[in-house]
Amino acid sequence: MSAEPKRGLGRGLSALLGDSGQKPAAAPLRSQRHLPVGQLQPSPLQPRRRFDPAELEALAESIGANGILQPILVRPHPGRPGMYEIVAGERRWRAAQLAKLHEVPVLERELADREVLELAIVENVQRNDLSALEEAEGYRRLIDEFSRSQEELAHQVGKSRAHIANTLRLLKLPESVKALLQEDRLSAGHGRALLAAADPAALAQRVVALGLSVRQTEALAQRPAGPRRRPAERPGKDADTRALEHSLARALGLNVEIEHGATGGRLTVRYRTLEQLDEVVRRLSGGG
């Protein structure tokens, strides 16, 4: 493993933007300037995939009244000369377009792909802008594509190693459950509880339908998944009992059922109208 120095990304964008009084160890930050909104493009390394329309509208209203207070961090587009890739601030860029701005303030910096992904995760995690799945996917990419360990990630994003591990576990859920998490119909706590279930997808649907809490989900997930006991089947009736049922049914003109056992039994006569009931009473009372 290389002896590359760690740069404390967990401090957030303040160190990058020069607010902390310390210069970052990488390439120096260029001065702030303005660029046309059409010259900026979202980064494919951005872990955030969903932007709430209502939040964008609110931010656009604020930008229309006060302007963009924090510049958008960009790097030169690696494949398109003259274009720039957004490292941090895609939400501001989208809201600026809703506010009909033609230009936005930017800070340009030379950054490698790994640094772009790290900074995007740090910014979004600190702002609580990522869903649990988006956060997990970002961690997975840093581990798989850039050989980061969970300990390094914990240091860089200012989270515990347990948080990193628990978040990554959500990627093991079935796709149908991931969709419910992404739609905010289930929380990350629900997702972690469902990992212990024998059938997470089926239990997830039940949790959503009944509005169950995380604790209730945990209790259901830990139940053994053995087959349900079938009710004991009633023994078949003998020929004499069936014959007696038919005889009574013909006499009364109604459906008759006889159940009997070692300690007694039950005779059931089914009627549909009060007239039929009156006829049964008349016959039993000796009236016909």
Instruction: Tell me which residues are annotated as active site.
Output: 90
Q: Is the separation of the CB atoms in 129 and 46 below 8 Å?
A: no
* Rg, the chain, Cα only: 34
Rounded to whole angstroms, how far apart are CA atoms 196 and 220?
A: 9
Question: Measuring CA to CA, which residue among 107, 110, 114, 106 is closest to residue 45?
Answer: 114
Rounded to whole angstroms, how far apart are CA atoms 277 and 257?
A: 16
Which spans in the chain are helix H?
13-16, 53-66, 90-98, 113-126, 132-146, 150-157, 161-169, 175-182, 188-194, 200-210, 214-221, 239-252, 274-284
Containing 33, the helix (H) or strand (E) segment is strand 33-36
Containing 131, the helix (H) or strand (E) segment is none
Question: Measuring CA to CA, which residue among 164, 160, 171, 163 is closest to residue 137?
Answer: 171
Containing 268, the helix (H) or strand (E) segment is strand 264-270
In Å, how far are 114, 127, 141, 240 from 158, measured between CA atoms? 17, 12, 18, 81
* Backbone φ, ψ for residue 255 (5° rounding): -75, 135
Q: Is the separation of the CB atoms in 206 and 220 below 8 Å?
A: yes
14, two tokens: 């303040």
Rounded to whole angstroms, how far apart are CA atoms 160 and 151?
A: 8
